[in-house]
């Protein structure tokens, strides 16, 4: 069935630059965009959706999320709000709860979060493992993630589990060997938390290199808590994305600007941990490509809302509303090395959001307000 969305007050395409059309329409057919142009020239379609003068933009692309888990870390959040620093140590709490949960419990919880994201305009989400930290548990988590998205990431190198606390190099060998072998069929990407207290540059290189040899693409948690080698390792290995990028040297910024590695910024994590926000303005002015994502996880960023992250990026990271919207759509697509999502153009997937607002500007202008009127996924209104 084909669908024409007409009477669009402001159509934002995010194709190359932000790109806006007034009094526009788009036609979806077979899950793809077939036509975009003035509303008065729209071709006929089987069904019609009247946008009522509202704004339409691409569906959000959330390129960094941890959704397969069990348990709750609200007490940890409360402790941080009372002054305790974030160290990443609570990950092991979630590992214990996740290992104890059944497949159906994990599937239901992850599915609930994906549905929550969808209601807020996210039409593509990347889902990481990383809360099993054993061969069987990481394989189980990624099998469940693959039921929900094609963008799945092997993150066996999230932290060293308790049983390997005294043998971290043995755990690295496990991740780069038997664990990778067990999960490769269910993953598109390999990721490492390259950070003090997690994995150092040499350990991260070993794991990412093994993943690349297995046919997975590379991405990396880099420079979140401290300055370190993560960003430059990402560029060295041609990773699609370096995520967090909170503590950057001039050399890190130059490396990102001179590469096709996307700097994926996760302001929900800084909000939840009371940490300094990344300097998006510095990256953008240097010529780096920037994406925004939620980092949805139970410990350091338990938000599923891309509109919230857009508002944070504008208020706290010196991005313009146009830059933030592009980063949450086309930027996220680039972080996943996709050109069929995050944009509205003929041939792209017909994933779009109709706002209860006249312009994309309202995503930052009216923070916390539920502005999503209708979500189109593969050309079907949800």
Along the 382 residues of the chain, how does pLDDT read in single tens digits? 999 999 999 999 998 888 999 999 999 999 999 999 999 999 999 999 999 999 999 999 999 999 999 999 999 999 999 998 887 678 989 999 999 999 999 999 999 999 999 999 999 999 999 999 999 999 999 999 999 999 999 999 999 999 999 999 999 999 999 999 999 999 999 999 999 999 999 999 999 999 999 999 999 999 999 999 999 999 999 999 999 999 999 999 999 999 999 999 999 999 999 999 999 999 999 999 999 999 999 999 999 999 999 999 999 999 999 999 999 999 999 999 999 999 999 999 999 999 999 999 999 999 999 999 999 999 999 9
The whole-number pLDDT of residue 45 equals 97
The whole-number pLDDT of residue 88 equals 67
- Lookup: tokens for 199: 């994995």
DSSP conformational letter for 337: T
- Burial (CB count within 10 angstroms: exposed 0-12, middle 13-18, buried 19+), residue 29: middle
Nearest by Cα to 321 from 343, 344, 292: 292
Going by DSSP bridges, is the β-strand pair 20-29/55-58 parallel, antiparallel, or unpaired? Answer: unpaired
Going by DSSP bridges, is the β-strand pair 352-355/372-377 parallel, antiparallel, or unpaired? Answer: antiparallel
Phi-psi bin for 72: left (phi > 0), alpha (psi -120 to 50), beta? beta
Distance CA 93, CA 89 (A): 8
- E strands, the chain, where? 2-12, 20-29, 32-38, 47-50, 55-58, 60-62, 122-125, 127-128, 152-157, 189-194, 217-222, 241-244, 262-265, 290-292, 352-355, 372-377, 380-381
- B/e letters for 170-204, b = 16+ CB within 10 Å, e = fewer, are ebbbbbbeebbebbbebbbbbbbbbbeebbbeebb
List, in sequence order, every residue forming a beta bridge with 189; answer none if it has no partner.
Answer: 153, 217
- Lookup: tokens for 253: 């910024």
Q: What is the pTM of this model?
A: 0.97
- E strands, 113-182, where? 122-125, 127-128, 152-157
- Burial (CB count within 10 angstroms: exposed 0-12, middle 13-18, buried 19+), residue 38: exposed
Going by DSSP bridges, is the β-strand pair 352-355/290-292 parallel, antiparallel, or unpaired? Answer: unpaired
**Residue 74 backbone dihedrals phi, psi, to 5 degrees:** -65, -35
How many angstroms separate the Cα of 64 from the Cα of each of 221, 250, 257, 286?
Answer: 10, 25, 21, 23
**Residue 232 backbone dihedrals phi, psi, to 5 degrees:** -70, -30
Distance CA 320, CA 342 (A): 18
- Lookup: tokens for 88: 């990443």
- Lookup: tokens for 337: 């090395």
271's CB contacts (< 8 A; 6+ apart) are 301, 303, 312, 316
320's CB contacts (< 8 A; 6+ apart) are 314
105's enclosing H/E stretch is helix 103-119
Question: Are the CB atoms for 344 and 330 separated by under 8 Å?
Answer: no
């Amino acid at each position: 069935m084909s669908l024409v969305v007409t009477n669009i007050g402001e159509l934002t395409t995010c194709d190359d630059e932000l790109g806006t059309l007034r009094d526009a329409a788009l036609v979806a057919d077979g899950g793809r965009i077939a036509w975009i142009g003035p509303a008065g020239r729209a071709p006929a379609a089987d069904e019609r959706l009247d946008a009522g003068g509202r704004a339409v933009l691409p569906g959000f692309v959330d390129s960094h999320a941890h959704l397969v888990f069990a348990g709750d870390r609200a007490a940890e959040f409360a402790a941080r709000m009372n002054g305790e620093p974030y160290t990443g140590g609570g990950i092991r709490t979630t590992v214990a709860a996740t290992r104890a949960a059944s497949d159906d419990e994990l599937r239901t919880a992850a599915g609930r979060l994906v549905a929550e994201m969808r209601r807020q305009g996210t039409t593509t989400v990347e889902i990481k493992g990383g809360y099993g930290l054993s061969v069987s548990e990481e394989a189980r988590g990624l099998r469940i993630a693959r039921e929900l998205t094609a963008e799945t990431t092997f993150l066996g190198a999230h932290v060293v589990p308790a049983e390997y606390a005294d043998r971290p190099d043995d755990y690295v060998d496990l991740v780069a060997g038997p664990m990778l072998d067990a999960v490769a069929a269910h993953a598109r990407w390999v990721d490492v938390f390259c950070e003090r207290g997690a994995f150092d540059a040499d350990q991260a290189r070993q794991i990412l290199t093994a993943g690349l040899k297995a046919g997975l693409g590379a991405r990396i948690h880099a420079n979140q808590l401290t300055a370190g080698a993560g960003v430059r390792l990402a560029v060295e290995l041609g990773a699609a994305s370096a995520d967090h990028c909170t503590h950057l040297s001039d050399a890190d910024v130059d490396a990102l600007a001179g590469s096709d590695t996307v700097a994926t910024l996760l302001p929900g994590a800084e909000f939840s941990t009371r940490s300094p926000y990344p300097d998006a303005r510095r990256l953008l002015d240097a010529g780096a490509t920037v994406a925004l994502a939620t980092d949805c996880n139970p410990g350091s960023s338990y938000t599923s809302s891309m509109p919230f992250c857009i508002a944070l990026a504008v208020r706290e990271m010196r991005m313009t509303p146009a830059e933030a919207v592009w980063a949450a759509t086309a930027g996220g697509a680039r972080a996943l090395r996709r050109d069929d999502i995050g944009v509205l153009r003929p041939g792209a997937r017909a994933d779009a959001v109709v706002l209860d607002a006249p312009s994309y500007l309202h995503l930052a202008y009216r923070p916390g307000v539920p502005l999503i009127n209708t979500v189109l996924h593969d050309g079907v209104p949800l």
